[in-house]
Structure 1
């Protein structure tokens, strides 16, 4: 039994096949997602190498790294061979990747399209397992004054405070705003509740001479724009 376990050890592979050595010899860009995760976990289990185990983990999320980022430490630990330390290492690495994407969005200072809103907010909303409702406040040149998380809720919805949204808009001197929230389920279709809160905020903003330019629904890879679909 011990011999079988050793046969799956990365130490027994050729240097060209070992993920760590492969990275050193050929560079990180040539490694597959599974090989990169294998470096993080170091070893597999009795029946799988680290790479094979990593492939199975990726297969469970349809080989989607963003979706992998939504798995909790407890969920990762359900895979045989993934203990707490390995699960934490995976979660930490994916969080670093998310924060790295977040650094890039700081360059987005002006909204020119629904896509630019998606690029601004996706690093914050794309991987979440629960819903959050955000507001992007803009000046008269559509430059971003502030992006604010207005509410945080369960996977089924959030509680939005319209009065607080208007208060912050006035304090910032905003003349326009864009609404956004995520759908952890992955569906891009707006619900009736989504439409109702959009209309409620729009009516409140109109009374203060503030425009609601769009409402985006954001998923792990895509977005839906109320404005682009002419339902705002």
Structure 2
């Protein structure tokens, strides 16, 4: 057992305290729990910030993606010593990480494969607890003009309006579009409803001369492409 475990952080050796360790040894020297401890600042009378952070991560199977799904309410109600301020700090920090990953993925703007689409939307949709439907709009060179969230639903589905999607594509002068939505269940296989909306959107796109190039279903760890499977 770690000798520091029975001491408050202030009693730890200077080089073992998370903040000081970051300064003197660098970011790479810190564990996920120590980084999380820096965010929450303090623990409780029962345990240090590092011990509390270890408990939170252990409950998430030491998976930061799983932690990213936690809400402020989840954190507050599950852990003694986590109030509004600390829970908000954790949630906001993980959201910043997600946005950073999104910006890095958007540096490559041209869409050549379904993986390019997945790279853009995995940071946005991969770990959401609810379903969202998005449209990626492209110019004639298959470069991204815009990406729009069309609707947001529950765990099992969302509702979309074909007319609104096409109007948005026309407003952006899009030459083609790609449909994207997520499956919070983790099952990448499309549903019958997914296939119906894909067919409906493809038919409407042909009439308006704005072809639907693909419909990509994103999960936390994988994706499904209608185009790759010859279904569009």
CA distance in 2, matches of 1:60, 1:181: 28
Question: Secondary structure at the residue paired with 2:145?
Answer: strand
Alignment of 1:1-232 (within 5 A): 7-77=6-76, 78-232=78-232
CA distance in 2, matches of 1:89, 1:143: 36
How many Å apart are 1:81 and its aligned residue? 2.2
CA distance in 2, matches of 1:62, 1:184: 18
- Does the aligned pair in 2 maintain the 1:183–1:217 contact within 8 Å? yes
Normalized against structure 2, the TM-score is what? 0.89
How many Å apart are 1:80 and its aligned residue? 2.2
CA distance in 1, matches of 2:88, 2:62: 19
- Does the aligned pair in 2 maintain the 1:126–1:218 contact within 8 Å? yes
How many Å apart are 1:228 and its aligned residue? 2.0
CA distance in 2, matches of 1:29, 1:231: 45
CA distance in 2, matches of 1:47, 1:188: 43
CA distance in 1, matches of 2:6, 2:207: 71
How many Å apart are 1:46 and its aligned residue? 4.1
Normalized against structure 1, the TM-score is what? 0.89
4+ runs of 1 displaced by more than 6 Å? none
How many Å apart are 1:74 and its aligned residue? 0.6
- Does the aligned pair in 2 maintain the 1:73–1:88 contact within 8 Å? yes
Unmatched tracts of structure 1, length 5 or more: 1-5
Say which is worse superposed, 104-113 or 73-82, in terms of deviation.
104-113
CA distance in 1, matches of 2:221, 2:28: 22
Judging changes above 3 Å, is the alpha-carbon distance between structure 1 residues 59 and 216 closer, same or farther for their aligned structure 2 residues?
farther
How many Å apart are 1:137 and its aligned residue? 1.1
- Does the aligned pair in 2 maintain the 1:8–1:46 contact within 8 Å? no
- Does the aligned pair in 2 maintain the 1:8–1:48 contact within 8 Å? no
Question: Secondary structure at the residue paired with 1:11?
Answer: helix
How many Å apart are 1:8 and its aligned residue? 4.1
Unmatched tracts of structure 2, length 5 or more: none
